[in-house]
């Protein structure tokens, strides 16, 4: 497939976007005192170097009433100008345009910087469901201040040399709250009729144009559907978009899906694996048919071929590919050069991007931990004295270490005891809706091939083999095996491990209980797999909720799926024992016994145990031994690949 449309230019208000790929506004958690940092500049510049036509900087606050405990740029404060100017200069030098997002969260606020609950404002005193916030109705005087804040903030962006501004009226934030008749119950000039509910959006656009002048691009981001209880639907948004489409101050509409107001709608803020690619494109197409302005769209567009289909079919004019650029900042350049097989495709695991952000940490990527760490891991430097490096283990940790070390010039051989690479990735990708996770293995294999790593499959490394090969340095990435503590009564019952089920080595029967200590993808994935096979499933988790350790949007989507499949989820369960008919648990809070009867099979997901046998054998070995990944301490693919990067860079 050609990519002619994707790499055609688009001109908006005299600004030429060199292609149709852009990075949407997203919180990177790389601020200091509400201002962009050098780390943030490097993060965005990496996308600009990689060929993106536009990067939209994260949602900045236009008024102090929108400040919350989640750090955000204070666009209303002139102190932000130098940081924005640095961002603009760095990205524009590579032909990449830079827009700023201007926003106010309204009632979507959890806490203040000091840990207390702030006063949250909304059109009316209508609570949200996700954060359980009861807001205060915005007084008219404060509405006026917020509108003026758009003008002041836009003027700051002009002074900083940015190319454009995007007004946030999506995802259930303040302007979207005014558009929603379930949230906006005002009876004054800003509520009631359609025109009154639209008034603050029109006022914000006009204010932004006053501050920005006539040369800067101004767009608006809107959710085509909220997909949540009491949310706005497409028919309502078509009316909104048709009305805004006639505003000469507005240059484009950016279409997304979802709302922060509820758990179901918030899943679509960063849609996880299991949601169809480009699923938002039909909404963009419906809006494009009503509006004579460029339409941007984002939502699981992770491959250039998919973006080309969206654009060539006339569904949109620009494609937001944010996580695709996080996973591979060079994606546009590789696409334009025809190197599609070289692209490190995003798998929508959400683990190191949005999950980091929600935890207050700088975002990155599990496949490409260099993202967000550009100042630490810049262009790979070649070593002056190459070493002979033996990497033991072909899971994510070993593969990344091998690729990085070989790229630096070392002579690297990776040994894997089985017939294929991937480690536990092979198990994860076998679950329903998780096939994309196998992209980790594909992408890391390509990295190794490009770097010149020698691969030895079906080769178990022993002390004798090490003596024969005589490496200078050894990297141990031997992984882990299922942790199998003694379970009282197991001899009388049918007990199997999660791995046995996923590898097709166990007949579970018609009624299964999953004892899930990990509270991660294994328990949720097994429950879905068995339920879809017709099994009655009870998921007993040693935590507050199934998937407790997973990224929120991934977990919440999965929990909804399991509810529809009839899976019974029982929290706070500590496994105690089993017999031929019943499984015995203890409630982790009350300490009381819980008996789950009528069970054919107990499936255990009780964690992993580091594989350290070879490490112990090498205690007296004279060379350097580095231990990484699960054989150091069982965790996730993110830590494994990051440690591979660290060791590979340090050798």
Write out pLDDT tens, residues 446-463. 999 999 999 999 999 999
pLDDT digits (tens, 9 = 90+) for 309-329: 999 999 999 999 999 999 999
> What is the model's pLDDT at position 302?
96
Query: How does residue 474 score in pLDDT terms, banded at 50, 70 and 90?
Result: very high
Cβ–Cβ contacts within 10 Å for residue 411, how many?
16
pLDDT digits (tens, 9 = 90+) for 170-205: 999 999 999 999 999 999 999 999 999 999 999 999
Question: How many CA within 13 A on the CB side of residue 406?
Answer: 24
Percent of the chain scored above 90 by pLDDT?
97
Give me the residues paired with residue 137 across strands. Answer: 122
The residue whose two tokens read 């050609």 is 2
Strand 21-23, strand 54-61: pairing? parallel
Task: Based on the residue annotation, tell me whether 377 is a catalytic residue of this protein.
Answer: no
Q: Choose among 1, 2, 39, 43: nearest CA to 23.
A: 43
pLDDT digits (tens, 9 = 90+) for 525-567: 999 999 999 999 999 999 999 999 999 999 999 999 999 999 9
What integer is the mean pLDDT of 400-416? 98
Whether 14-358 shares its CATH topology with 490-606 is answered no
pLDDT at 439 exceeding the cut of 90: yes
Query: How does residue 112 score in pLDDT terms, banded at 50, 70 and 90?
Result: confident
**Domain spans of the chain, in order of start:** 14-358, 388-482+610-650, 490-606
Element (H, E) at 152: helix 140-160
Domain 490-606 = CATH 3.50.50.60: yes
Measured at the alpha carbon of residue 130, what is the angle toward residues 129 and 135, in degrees to the nearest 5?
Answer: 60
Give me the catalytic one of 43, 76, 84, 173.
173
Greatest alpha-carbon pair distance for the chain in Å reads 84
pLDDT at 626 exceeding the cut of 90: yes
CATH architecture of 388-482+610-650: 3-Layer(aba) Sandwich (3.40)
Average confidence score pLDDT of the chain = 97
Element (H, E) at 334: helix 331-336
> What is the model's pLDDT at position 1?
63
pLDDT digits (tens, 9 = 90+) for 247-264: 999 999 999 999 999 999
What integer is the mean pLDDT of 368-391? 95
> What is the model's pLDDT at position 454?
98
CATH class of 14-358: alpha beta
Confirm if 472 and 388 have CB atoms less than 8 A apart.
Answer: yes
Strand 536-541, strand 511-516: pairing? parallel
DSSP character string of 166-213: EEEE-BT-HHHHHH-TTT----STTSSSHHHHHHHHHHHHHHHHHHH-
pLDDT digits (tens, 9 = 90+) for 413-435: 999 999 999 999 999 999 999 99
Q: Choose among 65, 3, 50, 52: nearest CA to 23.
A: 52
What integer is the mean pLDDT of 57-76? 94
Element (H, E) at 108: none
């Amino acid at each position: 497939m050609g990519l002619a449309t994707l790499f055609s230019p688009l001109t908006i208000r005299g600004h030429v976007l060199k292609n149709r790929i852009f990075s949407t506004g997203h919180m990177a958690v790389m601020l200091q005192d509400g201002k962009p940092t050098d780390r943030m500049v490097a993060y965005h510049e990496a996308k600009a170097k990689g060929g993106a036509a536009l990067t939209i900087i994260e949602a900045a606050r236009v008024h102090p009433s929108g400040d919350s405990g989640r750090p955000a740029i204070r666009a209303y404060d002139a102190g932000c100008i130098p940081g924005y100017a640095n961002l603009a200069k760095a990205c524009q030098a590579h032909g990449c345009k830079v827009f700023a997002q201007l926003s106010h969260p309204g009632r979507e606020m959890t806490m203040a910087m000091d840990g207390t609950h702030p006063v949250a404002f909304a059109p009316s005193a209508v609570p949200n469901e996700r954060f359980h916030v009861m807001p205060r109705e915005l007084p008219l005087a404060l509405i006026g201040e917020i509108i003026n804040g758009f003008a002041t903030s836009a003027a700051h962006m002009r002074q900083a040399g940015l190319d454009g501004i995007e007004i946030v009226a999506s995802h259930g934030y303040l302007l979207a709250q005014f558009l929603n008749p379930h949230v906006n119950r005002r009876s004054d000039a800003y509520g009631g009729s359609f025109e009154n509910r639209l008034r603050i959006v029109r006022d914000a656009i006009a204010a932004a144009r006053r501050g920005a002048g006539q040369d800067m691009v101004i767009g608006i981001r809107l959710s085509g559907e909220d997909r949540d209880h009491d949310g706005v639907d497409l028919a309502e948004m078509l009316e909104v978009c048709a009305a805004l489409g006639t505003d000469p101050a507005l240059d484009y509409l950016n279409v997304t899906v979802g709302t922060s107001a509820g758990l179901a709608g918030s899943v679509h803020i960063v849609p996880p694996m299991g949601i169809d690619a480009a699923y938002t494109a039909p909404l963009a197409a419906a809006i494009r048919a009503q509006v004579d302005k460029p339409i941007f769209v984002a939502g699981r567009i992770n491959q250039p071929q998919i973006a080309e289909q969206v654009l060539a079919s006339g569904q949109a004019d620009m494609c937001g590919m944010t996580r695709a650029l996080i996973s591979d900042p060079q994606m546009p350049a590789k696409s334009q050069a025809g190197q599609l097989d070289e692209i490190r495709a995003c798998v929508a695991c959400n683990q190191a991007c949005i999950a980091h952000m929600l935890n207050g940490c700088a975002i990155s990527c599990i496949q490409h931990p260099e993202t967000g760490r550009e100042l630490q891991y810049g262009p790979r430097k070649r070593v002056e004295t190459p070493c002979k490096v033996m990497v033991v283990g072909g899971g994510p940790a070993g593969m990344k270490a091998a690729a990085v070390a070989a790229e630096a010039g070392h002579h690297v051989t990776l040994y894997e005891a089985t017939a294929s690479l991937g480690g536990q990735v092979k198990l994860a990708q076998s679950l329903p809706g998780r096939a994309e996770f196998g992209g980790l293995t594909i992408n890391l294999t390509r990295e190794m091939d490009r770097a010149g790593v020698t691969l030895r499959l079906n080769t178990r490394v022993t002390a004798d083999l090490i003596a024969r090969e005589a490496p200078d340095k050894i990297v141990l990435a031997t992984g882990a095996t299922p942790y199998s503590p003694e379970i009282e009564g197991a001899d009388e019952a049918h007990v199997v491990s999660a791995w046995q089920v996923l590898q097709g080595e166990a007949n579970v029967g018609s009624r299964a209980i999953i004892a899930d200590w990990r509270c991660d993808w294994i328990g949720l994935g097994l429950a879905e797999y068995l339920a879809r096979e017709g099994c009655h499933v009870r998921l007993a988790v040693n935590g507050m909720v199934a998937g407790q350790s997973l990224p929120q949007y991934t977990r919440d989507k999965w929990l909804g799926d399991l509810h529809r499949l009839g899976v019974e989820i029982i929290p706070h369960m500590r496994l105690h024992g089993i017999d031929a008919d019943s499984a015995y648990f203890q409630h982790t809070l009350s300490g009381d016994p819980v008996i789950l009867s009528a069970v054919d099979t107990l499936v255990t997901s009780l964690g992993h145990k580091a594989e350290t046998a070879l490490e112990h054998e090498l205690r007296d070995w004279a060379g350097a031994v580095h231990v990484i990944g699960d054989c150091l301490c069982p965790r996730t693919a993110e830590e494994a690949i990051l440690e591979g990067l660290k060791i590979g860079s340090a050798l």
